Homo-oligomer: A and B are copies of this chain.
Amino acid sequence: MLEQASQLIRSARYPLLICHVAPDGDAVGSLTGLGHALRHEGLEPILACSDPVFARFNYIPGVESIVQEVNTTFDLVISLDCSDMGRLGHFPQMPGFDDVPLLNIDHHLTNLEFGDVNLVDPHASSAAQVVLRLLDYMEIPLNADLSTCLLTGIVSDTRSFSTSNVTIQVMEAALRLMKAGASLPRITQHALNRRPVSAILLWGAALTRFQIEDRVAWTGISLAMRRAAGDESNGDTGLANFLVSADGADAAVVFAEREDGRIEVGLRAVPGFDVAQVALQFGGGGHALAAGCNLSGPLEKAQSNVLAALRASLVRQRNT
């Protein structure tokens, strides 16, 4: 796949690079990182994302060049950190999109392999790590800007090397990027150690309702709580990751009511347990340790249904 991906890139001049909607650090980092590398090789990449990029990523070199609309021509599409076409936002509806090859670079286990060439490694910590491997294969040298982008991806997706997939290879990649000029403290300070005040207030409200029973830590976020906190994201505020750290928890769930009345369910497990099967039961998906699904409301009904299924699943898992 590395050879085919490399050939696609070598034969392009104006590649359109797209990361997923509601971009996180790995989306922005792999997008800008690959952008720097291709520019170094003489290409003229266009960097795009359907959604605006959070201000906390402003330190990333080249982040200002990311556009939300594309009006110029392109001869290749490279999808970054997207598990399916839907994650590309409005771009697939664009004229000309279907006329050029599509290179799919990702690390999600659930990637649908929707590209003409699919460079997908579910064992990689991040899309940025897959990009780094491609650059090594193509013998494109690292520099400080490029390394800052890619290390942002690794740091974001591993929550600063604290997830269960941080291998020696991940640490070696981080070290190489630091030696090439990326400042790890600067990245953690901006990309990781920053939260909107509204998210902190929402945590407070949600944590006072926090419960743990049958080794499941959980809480719910109603629309009223979200509005009181001033939180405008429908997104993950990181609360599920925090709850699964509760002593005695094998799994954690956060139920978040959205503007459209549906309930966003975020599931986490400690290593040794699997919450993906429960997410699948409700039409969702994900990884063993982090999965999600989306149910119709009301909040209380979604809570009792998912909690019952999760309890049953954990009992089965403990007995096998």
CA distance A172 to B179 in the complex (A): 11
State A168–B177 Cα separation when bound (angstroms): 10
**A90 beta carbon closer than 8 Å to chain B:** no
Interface presence of A197 (CB below 8 A): yes
Is A194 at the interface (CB under 8 A from chain B)?
A: yes
Do the beta carbons of A208 and B197 come within 8 Å of each other?
Answer: no
**Is the Cβ of A162 less than 8 Å from the Cβ of B247?**
no
Q: Determine whether A205 belongs to the interface, using a CB cutoff of 8 Å to chain B.
A: yes
A interface, size bucket: 35 or more
**B160, B179, B194: the one within 8 Å of A160 (CB):** B160
- A208→B205 contact, CB < 8 A: yes
Inter-subunit contact A204/B206 (CB<8 Å): yes
A161 at the interface (CB under 8 A from B): yes
Q: Closest residue to A271 on the B side, CB-wise?
A: B189
Q: How many copies does the complex hold?
A: 2
Cβ contact within 8 Å between A185 and B246: no
Known A174-B171, A175-B172; contact A195-B162, beta-carbon cutoff 8 A: no
- Asked if residues A185 and B164 are in contact (CB atoms below 8 Å), the reply is yes
Given the known interface contacts A171-B175, A171-B178, A204-B204, the answer about A162 and B192 at a Cβ–Cβ threshold of 8 Å is yes
Cβ contact within 8 Å between B172 and A184: no
Q: Which of B166, B175, B196 contacts A185 (CB 8 A)?
A: B166
Q: A251-267: contact bitstring with B at CB < 8 Å (1 yes, 0 no)?
A: 00000000000000000
Q: How close is A166's CB to chain B, nearest CB, in angstroms? A: 5
| B166 engages A184 (CB within 8 Å) | yes
Q: Which of B185, B192, B195, B245 contacts A195 (CB 8 A)?
A: B245
Q: B residues within 8 A CB of A185?
A: 163-166, 271
- Please judge, given known A-B contacts A204-B206, A205-B208, A208-B201, whether A168 and B161 are in contact too, CB under 8 Å: no
A196 contacts B247, C-beta separation under 8 Å? yes
Most buried by B among A161, A192, A210: A161
Task: Check: A207 CB closer than 8 A to any chain B CB.
Answer: yes
Q: In the complex, A197 Cα to B243 Cα: how many Å? A: 9
How far does the alpha carbon of A193 sit from the alpha carbon of B270 in the complex, in Å? 9
B162 touches A197 (CB 8 A): no
A21 in the interface (beta carbon within 8 A): no
Task: Taking A162-B188, A163-B185, A195-B247 as given, write out 13 further A-B residue pairs in contact, using a Cβ cutoff of 8 Å, ordered by the A residue number.
Answer: A159-B160, A160-B160, A164-B189, A166-B184, A189-B270, A193-B245, A196-B247, A197-B217, A200-B207, A200-B242, A200-B245, A201-B208, A204-B205
Where the two chains meet, the residues of A that have a C-beta atom closer than 8 Å to any C-beta of B are 56, 159-166, 168, 171-172, 174-175, 178-179, 184-185, 188-189, 192-197, 200-201, 203-210, 212, 217, 242-248, 270-271
The 7 sampled A-B contact pairs (Cβ below 8 Å) are: A166-B188, A189-B270, A189-B271, A197-B212, A201-B207, A203-B203, A204-B206
